[in-house]
Chain A
Amino acid sequence: GAVVSQHPSRVICKSGTSVKIECRSLDFQATTMFWYRQFPKQSLMLMATSNEGSKATYEQGVEKDKFLINHASLTLSTLTVTSAHPEDSSFYICSASGQGISRDEQFFGPGTRLTVL
């Protein structure tokens, strides 16, 4: 099946620093990747949609200058949380869809737990 990985799985950083989270499709070319955020005991909320080679489309209320998304290749998308603050602490999950796999399904990564001190 289609496998999506995320790195790191956990990260702890100081307030004011930037953190980069990688999302990789391991066995398919991901033309579209989604980034979701999940606060404790909450559901997944879409942050942005990125298509390879294009600028990401952000959901209302998500600051594009704070959450930088780059989808420069068909196997990698990155989410950079700039000047992180404690309220950015959350579980970030990516999903991907693309060529050679079911067009009706997206495949989820294992998530990245971000803790900002």
Chain B
Amino acid sequence: AQSVTQPDIHITVSEGASLELRCNYSYGATPYLFWYVQSPGQGLQLLLKYFSGDTLVQGIKGFEAEFKRSQSSFNLRKPSVHWSDAAEYFCAVGAQNSGNTPLVFGKGTRLSVIA
């Protein structure tokens, strides 16, 4: 069965510091991987996605993620965090043709940013 693990429930970083949010997945075939961000009371915003090709994916807001098949990981990174990045981050996995199949989400990592 498909599953996504985000080991860190809550992370606090200082503004300007680098960030890495971990995501591990379990999936029987080649996964389609997504990172979403959710501000309190808001919907989901897609940060980036990986379908195939270059394993280092660039997203919006300065985020990037690297797909590592050998580690079943898709960690999200940002070199310098801004206070506005404080939010909940969800990693998700889907099948090829993910538009027609539901995504499986991790439990999320809450990011707090301190001055």
Contact = CB atoms under 8 A, between A and B. Distances in A.
A105 B49 contact: yes
Interface in A91-116: 91, 93, 95, 97-98, 101-106, 108-111, 113
Interface residues of B, number: 23
A98 B100 CA distance: 8
A49 interface: yes
B99 A104 contact: yes
Interface of A (DSSP majority class): strand
A67 interface: no
B90 A43 contact: yes
Given A44-B105, A104-B32, A97 B99 contact: yes
Given A108-B43, A111-B43, A43 B106 contact: yes
A46 B96 CA distance: 18
B98 interface: yes
A29 interface: no
Contacts of A105: 46, 49, 98-99
Interface residues of A, number: 26
Considering the complex of A and B, which 5 residue pairs feature the smallest CB-CB distances, nearest first? A97-B99, A110-B43, A111-B43, A108-B44, A43-B107
Interface of B: 32, 36, 41-44, 46, 49, 51, 90, 94, 96-100, 102-108
9 contacts: A44-B90, A44-B103, A91-B41, A93-B44, A95-B103, A105-B98, A106-B99, A108-B44, A111-B42
Interface of A: 6, 31-32, 34, 42-46, 49, 91, 93, 95, 97-98, 101-106, 108-111, 113
